[in-house]
Structure 1
Amino acid sequence: MMMTRFVRASVLGLAIAAMPGRAAAQGDAEIAWSIAPTGRMAADTRMITFRYPAEGGRTGSTGSARSVDEMAGLDAAALAGPAESPVRFTLAGDPGRLECEGTAGGGRGSGRCAYQPAPGFAGEMERLGAPRPSSADQLELLIHGVELAQMRELRRLGYRDLEPDRLIAMQIFYVTLDFAREATAFGDPDRSLDELVSLKHGGVSLAYLRALREAGYTRLTFRQIEEMHRHRTR
């Protein structure tokens, strides 16, 4: 049991390690962005990294895999072109918006963004029973694509630990709402986002969850699912 708790803590730690400095961003804060090509993603997806002022005078950074379409206004032809060209794009969501400009070419790009947090977002999170996020939290939630609809569905599924770090960990480990629904259907009364992320990080797939159900398993805790998957893969 102590080892299981350690693994779960380690999973959240891995996610937090991907966010090395808590942002100290406020409205109108200037954020640096960069895009680099990677062969491990779909052709229309790029890893975009943001660097921003962090607490204590440090610089924080975090990255997220985003499709080119999500970066509204980004000229895909300019990004892929052989020579650097000026580009502009907007990354917007429930937590706020980033208005970005810079240059791009050869699959790479860099520049700066102005950040504006959405004024009503913090109150909406509080109404869902989550801690009130700071402007810095909102920036990181925006970068990782966390939306209120996702939080509302997680709340409906019975999850109460809707802290920003846990929501971001879901995005980092590609824990989709379909995965959350399928796992939750097994009825673990003590389910949490930490355990949900731990399932996915441990190699449990949506297909595996569905295979368990088809095999006749209907009531399992997340811990039991982890153990079954671990023994299966030995």
Structure 2
Amino acid sequence: MNRPFALLTALVLAGASLTSTGLAAELGPLRFRLTSQGGGEPRVALLTTASRGAEYDNDIPWRDLRGLDQAALKAGQPVRFALVRDAGRVDCAGSGRDGKADGTCTFTPDRAFAELLAQRGIGRPDEREAFALTVTGAGRALVEAIAAARYPAPDVDDLAGLAALGVTPSYIADLAARGYRPGKIGDLMAFKALGVTPAYVDELGRSGFAKLDAEAIIQFKALDISPAYVRSLAEVGYGSLDAEELVQLRALGVTADFIASFQRAGHAKLSVEQLVQCKAMGIGPEDLRTVGSARKVAMSSDQLVAMKVAGLLP
């Protein structure tokens, strides 16, 4: 992977890692803040004093808040509810008023789930890690889907990161059905973070790119290389490009309109390298016309050098 895309992938994975690491920070006394505004469903933010009041707002669905009485929430009466997931249970109690509430919580890890993770080679989570898995919603179905798709076993932080990004068993299965099992958990996280969907993979296949590896798909999606972009290049005579050439053109912002402007100026088939050079150095069809009419003085020395390198000058 070339340097710009290696950096991009590193940033994507760092973002996912920070999500899981932040959630697994030192677990101290827990508080909650619950809001229900505009008639919408309640949302819960969990706060830990050990994390300097960090908020873990995962937009927890109403159906996951067991025992929450909306009437009590509106009337300013005491409220109680529990967030119960495979990795553990968070029990909260406090007082509410006008659709809002706050109070304290306790956390109880699920020992059976911890045992499952140990058996799967993921590791036995401590209390802090179990809390992260609970808040992000990492559960048995996700663990089993990872194993079924024959991915390398993630560690506990990566499992929480996958759940935080919204990786679901169906997402993993749909990619696997299309032959995509990225060799690293980090690639799967990058897929989800960038919005690589099974439908996107199908579209790439129909555009002639059915055998891309995970790294190439990450590059394509990061650069927004779409089937429509591929078709637009084919319409101006560039229909047999390989993946690397597409990446080069898209990374520099070379569009079908840019190519067509040179064709209208009489340069019907510039190479990919020449197009990239022109775009990078700000060389347009008007510059080539200037050279052709011997008015080179109107061009900078940098432009002339770049055109020579690109093979556009004798």
User: Does the alignment reach a TM-score above 0.5?
Assistant: yes
- Please tell me whether Structure 1 or Structure 2 has the larger radius of gyration of its CA atoms: 2
Residue segments in structure 2 that go unaligned for 5+ positions in a row? 230-249, 251-314
TM-score under structure 2 normalisation?
0.61
Q: In 1, are the aligned partners of 2:149 and 2:173 still within 8 Å (CA)? A: yes
User: Quick one: structure 1 residues 182 and 224, their matched pair in 2 at CA, closer, same or farther if it must change by over 3 Å?
Assistant: farther
Where do 1:111-126 residues align within 5 Å? Answer: 111-126=103-118
Q: State the Cα distance separating 1:193 from its structure 2 match.
A: 2.6
1:4 aligns to what?
5
1:48 aligns to what?
44
For 1:130, give the aligned amino acid: I
Secondary structure of 2:89's counterpart equals: strand
Instruction: Kindly report structure 1 stretches of 4+ aligned residues shifted beyond 6 Å.
Output: none
For 1:4, give the aligned amino acid: F
Q: In 2, are the aligned partners of 1:86 and 1:104 still within 8 Å (CA)? A: yes
Q: State the Cα distance separating 1:125 from its structure 2 match.
A: 0.4
Q: In 2, are the aligned partners of 1:151 and 1:162 still within 8 Å (CA)? A: no
1:64 equivalent in alignment to 2:38: no
1:109 equivalent in alignment to 2:108: no
User: Quick one: structure 1 residues 99 and 186, their matched pair in 2 at CA, closer, same or farther if it must change by over 3 Å?
Assistant: same
In structure 2, how many angstroms separate the alpha carbons of the residues matched to 1:212 and 1:77? Answer: 50
For 2:22, give the aligned amino acid: P
- The CA deviation string for residues 137-182 of structure 1, in whole angstroms up to 9 with x for no partner, is 0011011111122111111112224223222222332222222222
In structure 2, how many angstroms separate the alpha carbons of the residues matched to 1:187 and 1:33? Answer: 43
Q: What is the count of residue pairs matched by the alignment? A: 224
Where do 1:123-202 residues align within 5 Å? Answer: 123-188=115-180, 190-202=182-194
User: Quick one: structure 1 residues 114 and 127, their matched pair in 2 at CA, closer, same or farther if it must change by over 3 Å?
Assistant: same
- The equivalent position to 1:223 in structure 2, one of 215, 220, 224, is 215
Residue segments in structure 1 that go unaligned for 5+ positions in a row? none
User: Quick one: structure 1 residues 177 and 120, their matched pair in 2 at CA, closer, same or farther if it must change by over 3 Å?
Assistant: closer
Greater length-normalized contact order (CA 8 Å, ≥ 6 residues apart): 1
Q: In 1, are the aligned partners of 2:23 and 2:132 still within 8 Å (CA)? A: no
Which structure has more strand as a fraction of its residues? 1
1:34 equivalent in alignment to 2:30: no
Secondary structure of 1:200's counterpart equals: helix
TM-score under structure 1 normalisation?
0.80
Where do 1:11-26 residues align within 5 Å? Answer: 11-18=12-19, 20=22, 22-25=24-27
In structure 2, how many angstroms separate the alpha carbons of the residues matched to 1:209 and 1:37? Answer: 38
In structure 2, how many angstroms separate the alpha carbons of the residues matched to 1:109 and 1:140? Answer: 23
In structure 1, how many angstroms separate the alpha carbons of the residues matched to 2:210 and 2:96? Answer: 51
Q: In 1, are the aligned partners of 2:145 and 2:173 still within 8 Å (CA)? A: no
Q: State the Cα distance separating 1:197 from its structure 2 match.
A: 2.0
1:73 equivalent in alignment to 2:67: yes
User: Quick one: structure 1 residues 32 and 208, their matched pair in 2 at CA, closer, same or farther if it must change by over 3 Å?
Assistant: same
Q: In 2, are the aligned partners of 1:88 and 1:101 still within 8 Å (CA)? A: yes
Q: In 2, are the aligned partners of 1:20 and 1:61 still within 8 Å (CA)? A: no
In structure 1, how many angstroms separate the alpha carbons of the residues matched to 2:140 and 2:181? Answer: 24
- Bigger mean CA offset, 29-38 vs 165-174: 29-38
Query: In percent, how many aligned pairs have the same letter?
Result: 25
2:277 aligns to what?
none
In structure 1, how many angstroms separate the alpha carbons of the residues matched to 2:209 and 2:91? Answer: 48
